[in-house]
Amino acid sequence: MFQLFLVVSMLVWALFPSCSWAQGIPTQSLDQSQQSVALAAATADHAKDHEELSALRETAKSAINNRTFKDLRPIIVKENFSIITVDGQKITSWEDFAKYWNGLFENKEFGLKSIEVNPVADGQTQFLADGVGVCQGTSEDKYTFLKGEVRTMPERWTAICVKEDGKWKIARFVFSANVLDNPVISAIKNEMQLTAWMAGIIGLIAGGLGMWLFTRKKA
């Protein structure tokens, strides 16, 4: 019986060598090879996109660090742009973002001299569709205060980019930071407390001096 089964099996293998169930592993290997080729082709197709998106990130970084906000105009979409700042504000134009960012330095309570952002992507952009990509990453932002103190605030960011007129542009951008353990907020609070203490001490001195002058005149 076993000999008959062996003969039949050999005949089947000889007559139908191209059947997938007869070849088994070679077919699976072929599928994996095809998948590898397809993946390589997709990666090659997006190679130029990744280069353009990396350049886009560097342009945005330079514009923010140098406060040359007009450089943001060509790299953001014409309509429906928005950015969520680290303090939860929604901004819908590069002009409003410029006002917001410059306002951080004009606020004397903050005492900021400069902010240096350093965005680094977690990996390559993920393409949700043709002309739509999502990229995420971190940024170790350096805050320098007028008194010379320097604090680094770790942040996370998410950017959604779309192709507009054949070029990649930013459509959405979201910042986030740890509000429970934030070195920059702590430094600003300390500065505000110090300012309040100094104002209080000056007030006490001025009040005491005024009382002394008043009592002296009466004498």
Q: Which domains does the chain have, with CATH numbers?
A: 45-197 (3.10.450.50)
pLDDT score, position 199: 45
Instruction: Give the rounded distance of the alpha carbon of 74 from its chain centre.
Output: 19
For 178-190, what is the HEC assignment?
A: CCCCCHHHHHHHH
Per-residue pLDDT of the chain (219 residues; tens, 9 = 90+): 444 343 344 434 344 444 433 344 354 554 666 655 554 555 567 899 999 999 999 999 999 999 999 999 999 999 999 999 988 899 999 999 999 999 989 988 778 899 999 999 999 999 999 999 999 999 999 999 888 889 898 999 999 999 999 999 999 999 998 766 665 555 555 544 444 434 444 444 444 444 544 555 555
**pLDDT at residue number 20:** 39
Take residue 162 and report the two structure tokens written for it. Answer: 């779309």
**Amino acid found at 199:** A
> How far is it, in rounded angstroms, from Cα 109 to Cα 111?
6
202 Cα distance to chain centroid = 44
Q: How far apart are CA 74 and CA 72, in angstroms?
A: 6
The per-residue pLDDT for 30 is 47
- pTM given for the model: 0.65
DSSP the chain: -HHHHHHHHHHHHHH-TT-HHHH-HHHHHHHHHHHHHHHHHHHHHTHHHHHHHHHHHHHHHHHHHHT-GGGGGGGB-SSS-EEE-TTS-EE-SHHHHHHHHHHHHH-TTT-EEEEE--EEESSSPEEEETTEEEEEEEEEEEEEETTS-EEEEEEEEEEEEEEETTEEEEEEEEEEE-SSS-HHHHHHHHHHHHHHHHHHHHHHHHHHHHHHHHHHHH-
The per-residue pLDDT for 216 is: 54
What pLDDT shows up at residue 36?
A: 58
pLDDT value, residue 148: 87
Instruction: Look up tokens 């560097």; give the residue.
Output: 58
State residue 184's pLDDT score.
54
- 194-199 long-range CB contacts below 8 Å, 24 or more apart? 195/109
Distance CA 113, CA 152 (A): 14
In angstroms, rounded to a whole number, what is the distance separating the alpha carbons of residues 6 and 180? 73
